[in-house]
Amino acid sequence: MNAEITFRTATNDDVPALVALIESAYRGEVSRAGWTTEADLLDGQRTDEHEVLKVVRGPRSRVRVAEQDGSVVACVRIDDAGDAGYIGMFAVRPTLQASGIGRQLLAEAERVIREELRLTRARMTVIAQRETLIAWYARRGYVVTGKREPFPYHDPRAGTPRRADLVFEVLEKPLH
């Protein structure tokens, strides 16, 4: 049986481990061990220490960390966007994906948005071409709003796109 998952808010000391985790979940060959890889859509980096540190230290943002046996196995960014809690940087160690950790982490993010931020909606953006991931969120109550946001082709910190038609779908879920 798997060890219990515990949650806590990330600190500055967690930043290098968080960057490594996020990179491993989304980019490169190691990401292919899980099902959330973006390796077929993007090359290059997914994030960097500067960006993660900015979220960890932000007055309206935080990163929740999931630990198992004292090791960081997943993380999620949560921002107070005013009218909704924004979820991003959602990452689970590739070899632990499909083990239920992602569902637990999403429930924790929603709890933080509802109970700590006192907001009634969760929002996220997902690359539209990631249909399997969008379907996973839909099974958890998220709805494609019909709104789209452009992919930041001009920002090298977003990675190197392998195709020219990338766009973000905006998903939302009411939280009660």
Amino acid at 109: A
Q: Can you give the three-state secondary structure of 28-72, one letter per residue?
A: CHHHHHCCCCCCCCEECCCCCHHHHHHHHHCCCEEEEEEEECCEE
Is residue 126 within 8 A of residue 170, CB to CB? The reply is: no
Is residue 7 within 8 A of residue 64, CB to CB? The reply is: yes
pLDDT in tens, 89-134: 999 988 888 888 999 999 999 999 999 999 999 999 999 998 989 9
CA distance 138 to 122: 13
> What CATH code would you report for 5-174?
3.40.630.30
Torsion of CA 51, 56, 61, 67, to 10 degrees: 110
Going from N- to C-terminal start, the domains of the chain cover 5-174
Vertex 110: Cα angle to 115 and 149 (nearest 5): 125
pLDDT in tens, 37-71: 666 776 677 788 889 999 999 999 999 999 999 89
pTM of the model: 0.89
